[in-house]
Amino acid sequence: MLKEAIKYITQLGITPKDRIVEARDAHGQPRTLVIDNEGNFGEVRPIIDRAKQVLEINTLTGLVNYIHANLERIDCNFFLQVNDEKTVSLKGTLESDGGRENLVVANAITPSFSYGRFHDAEELIIAFQSKFTKTEDRDLLLKVIGNVKEENVRKTGDTGISQAVTIKTGIASADDVLVPNPVTLAPYRTFLEVDQPASDFIFRMKDGPTGAIFEADGGAWRNEAIENVRDYLVAELETEIEAGRITIIA
């Protein structure tokens, strides 16, 4: 069948070269078209050499080191996209087929904590010391939780905004203290290389004793975290940004 097709084309005096048409689309991009025996056009698309696997790392330091090394896609231009407070992607520029290569993604490893759920005193003490950075309000909550008298939690004074609980202040003495609300806390919620954003929380206690914190800033901390990540990358990649090799979007 192939031999017959070649013989037929030869008899018509149409060479393979005559069947190839170079054109441009509405955006000025080049396109290569091939005409078959019926006069129909088919497009020959360019072979795009894209990475088949995205490199996954967990720190901003690793991402910066990868860019500095310049081992792959040497001297190409890239976009660094801060997707959210925990994710940054390194992407190539737009290619001829409209696609974009994804080279690296950095995913922050952060401890989990159940906001809005009541935890016993021991759980809260451990969580505040291991999953939250040091702040004045964190230390105050640790003092309250660690010294509250279980039998008095049920008699808590509650104004709807703040609670008064009885805590042990000595070997045989106890005082009533107001638990402030809202409290300003800074959990580990983004990459460790940047400052953890502080935000407001509502702290409540009930029988047990148990306590819970509820997010109270409407998620504004995420914007601050994204800005912190962007500022870190701008400082660490100053040379690449000035050379036009890296463009950061957030």
Secondary structure of 146-166 in HEC code, one letter for each residue = HHECHHHHCCCEECCCCEEEE
pTM above 0.85, yes or no: no
The answer to whether the bond into 209 is cis (omega within 30° of 0) is yes
Residue type for position 150: E
Residue 228, classed as helix, strand or coil, is: helix
CATH 3.30.720 intervals, the chain: 55-109+225-249
Q: What is the pLDDT of residues 48-91, one digit of tens each?
A: 555 578 899 999 999 999 999 988 878 788 999 999 999 999 99
55-109+225-249 CATH choice from 3.30.720, 3.40.50, 3.30.70, 3.50.50: 3.30.720
2-44 CATH choice from 3.90.960, 3.30.505, 3.30.70, 3.40.50: 3.30.505
CATH 3.30.505 intervals, the chain: 2-44
Distance between CA atoms of 20 and 17, rounded to whole angstroms? 6
210 contact partners, CB below 8 Å, separation of at least 6: 118, 119, 120, 121
| Consecutive H or E run containing 211 | strand 210-215
Q: What is the pLDDT of residues 116-157, one digit of tens each?
A: 999 998 999 999 999 999 999 999 899 888 877 655 554 445
